[in-house]
């Protein structure tokens, strides 16, 4: 093993810019677990997680968008997706790459987004993932004010912080 393999995995609060990214990461983890186990209970837990924070009106839209992102990632990625359990405080390299791609999808830098999707997929072009990242970034931007202004216990102490 090399020294980089022994390095500790970063903490969610160290790498997520805000509550919206934490929520997106948690939902993605639930969805990935559902894909891996083929158990709908994982997806239901992701829906419940989103509803606790955003309410029943907005949560289904975010979950659906993150499902689209996960499906695109599974369709265009060359390697297995490595993720942590939904409520874990640590972050894998693959999850870091996803968060970086979401950041790039919010800005005008299409070159940065293309590079981020190359890291995620191993492909020169990933049109499905690119479109899914843009949709997710747009929806996350729309829920940020809801999370920042919320006084719910979930918004103040997210489920991914330990």
In tens, the pLDDT along 16-70 reads 989 999 999 999 999 999 988 998 999 999 999 999 999 999 999 999 999 999 9
Tokens 């005008």 sit on residue: 108
Enumerate the domain spans of the chain.
17-156
pLDDT tens-digit map of 99-153: 999 999 988 888 999 999 999 999 999 999 999 999 999 999 999 998 875 544 3
Identify the DSSP state of 149.
Answer: S
pTM of the model as a whole: 0.84
Residues in the chain: 162
Question: Shortest CA distance to 18 belongs to which of 150, 112, 132?
Answer: 150
């Amino acid at each position: 093993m090399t020294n980089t393999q022994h390095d500790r995995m970063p903490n969610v609060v160290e790498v997520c810019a805000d509550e919206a990214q934490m929520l997106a990461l948690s939902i993605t983890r639930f969805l990935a677990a559902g894909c891996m186990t083929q158990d709908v209970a994982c997806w239901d837990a992701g829906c419940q997680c989103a509803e606790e924070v955003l309410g029943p009106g907005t949560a289904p839209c975010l979950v659906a968008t993150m499902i689209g992102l996960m499906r695109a990632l599974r369709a265009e990625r060359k390697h297995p997706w490595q993720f942590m359990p939904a409520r874990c405080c640590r972050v894998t390299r693959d999850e870091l790459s996803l968060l970086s791609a979401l950041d790039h999808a919010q800005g005008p830098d299409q070159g940065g987004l293309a590079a981020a999707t190359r890291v995620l997929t191993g492909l020169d072009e990933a049109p499905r993932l690119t479109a899914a990242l843009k949709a997710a970034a747009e929806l996350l931007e729309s829920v940020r004010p809801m999370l920042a202004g919320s006084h719910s216990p979930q918004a103040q102490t997210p489920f991914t912080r330990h």
